Amino acid sequence: MQTQLRTKKNDSYNLKINWFSPIPPAPTGIADYTVRLMKELSQFLEVTIWTEQQVYDLEITHYAIVRTYDCSCFSCPELHEADLNIYHVGNNGSFHTNIWQLSQQFPGLVVLHDARLHHLFGEIYRDKWHDQKAYLQLMSYYYGETGKKLAERFWDRQISIEWMAENFPLTELALAGSLGVVVHNPEVEQNLQQKLQIPVHYLPLCYNFTSVLRSVAPRTLEPPYKLITFGHLGLNRRIDQILKALQTLPQKQDFHWDIYGTVWDKKYLQKQICTSGLQNHVSVHGFVPDQVLHEALSQAHLAINLRYPSMGEASLSQLWIWYHALPSLVTDISWYHHLPSDTVAKVRLECEIQDIQAHLQNFHAHPDAFVEMGLRGKALLEKQHLPSTYAKQLVQIISTMTASYQLSSNPLVKDYFAKRVSQEFPEISENLWLYSNANGINQAIRFITS
């Protein structure tokens, strides 16, 4: 199925791109990121969004062509009609398995939404494909014999996926064969630049909240103070630790914690709440529409956005929090570690429960100071995370990459570098796919110029 652009600001575009990503109503922040970025990108590019979804919000068709595909019988020629393929890769196998597979077959630019991707590949190889041999070979290739032995234990469910993600992220597997990568975490950028021979670009994650209505009464700064946590809530969101902190907090009668989003094990969570004696202080709401979440955030006093291990991602949840001028608690690791200390309250892993309680007690004693923290967070959001700025920077990256790709695809250039590599490096020339793959040409250029 194909939908045509309904509006187009330019009579023609210099560049056409293929964009592989989940789109609304898929329950993932990457889908929201895509639809809100399209309005900006459509001013510069002709975008075709490829999706496996049979149902999607039609709003996005105002700014992009939407086409559905079946990964098992994908038509290769259609991809070559565009100047660049862009693949969005995250940890949810339901949304990103086939996107990753296509990125391996048709190289392009990968936008990495998570840097620790063992959740994705564990789900693919163990739970979907049941291919232990291939999984162990990959772990051996990237992490040696130690990685292979621990992978065997993970396969037998003796080691948790969280531990594997922390110690064996498999980031390079997600980027194998790619022409470049965009990340949203400066720490990840530095790490990948040391490991990879492809361009690595850092862009501050953007979000556009114009579709969220503002007609909500302002919050009142009085007990019971409303705490809020939301999103996709797995074990890494430190729910147990927050419950322990609340359980023994002297001022707990003045706080109420609201939990929104999908929970990894709702029965377990309810049991822990009852065991902690916090039935009157914690409410679990489940997944709710954006407008309901917006109203809850507008009424909340303090957000709790803890994560360990972090998947190396920038946090869309944190941008939502700042949009509502909310102060927040964050774990002092990865992307969160680099946030200005006057825009968030940081929680150290080595004394997690003590820090949570200390911040809650400080909030109880000085709520106005935390209000100022929330306002500084919103100012940072408006300065660094605008979709218009992100779109312009991404277009510049795309323009540079397509110019390089067009040069390396020129038959004369291919022939020249193939001959030079075979003359200078006969021992490796047989392993470079010089005549079939632009990535091979890029490799050849790097070998000659290094």
Domain-by-domain residue ranges, the chain? 16-202, 225-385, 391-449
225-385 and 16-202 share a CATH fold: yes
Nearest to 302 by CA among 362, 251, 250, 350: 362
The pLDDT of residue 371 is 97
State how far the alpha carbon of 185 is from the alpha carbons of 89, 191, 198, 201, 233, in Å.
15, 10, 17, 10, 21
Give the pLDDT of the chain (450 residues) as one tens digit per residue.
454 433 344 444 579 999 999 999 998 889 989 988 999 999 999 999 999 999 999 999 999 999 998 887 776 677 778 899 999 999 999 999 999 999 998 999 999 999 999 999 999 999 999 999 999 999 999 999 999 999 999 999 999 999 999 999 999 999 998 999 999 999 999 999 999 999 999 999 998 665 555 555 678 899 999 999 999 898 899 999 999 999 999 999 999 999 999 998 999 999 999 999 999 999 999 989 888 999 999 999 999 999 998 887 888 899 999 999 999 999 999 899 999 999 999 999 999 999 999 999 999 999 999 999 999 999 999 999 999 999 999 999 999 998 876 545 545 445 555 555 556 555 544 444 333 344 455 544 444 444
What is the C-alpha to C-alpha distance for residues 313 and 186, in angstroms, rounded to an integer? 10
Q: What CATH number belongs to 16-202?
A: 3.40.50
Residue 301 phi, psi (nearest 5)? -110, -30
> What kind of fold does domain 225-385 have according to CATH?
Rossmann fold (3.40.50)
Tokens of residue 374, six digits? 């929330």
61, 5 Cβ separation under 8 angstroms:
yes
* Residue 104: how many other CB atoms lie within 10 Å: 14
Nearest to 241 by CA among 343, 340, 349: 349
The pLDDT of residue 4 is 41
Buried b (16+ CB within 10 A) or exposed e, 388-421: eebbebbbebbbebbebbeebeeeeebeebbeeb
What is the C-alpha to C-alpha distance for residues 257 and 260, in angstroms, rounded to an integer? 10
The pLDDT of residue 415 is 55
The pLDDT of residue 435 is 35
Total-model pTM: 0.81
373, 345 Cβ separation under 8 angstroms:
yes
Q: What is the largest CA-CA distance in the chain?
A: 77
Single-letter amino acid code for the residue at 336: Y
Query: Residue 342: exposed, middle, or buried by beta-carbon count in 10 A (0-12, 13-18, 19+)?
Result: exposed
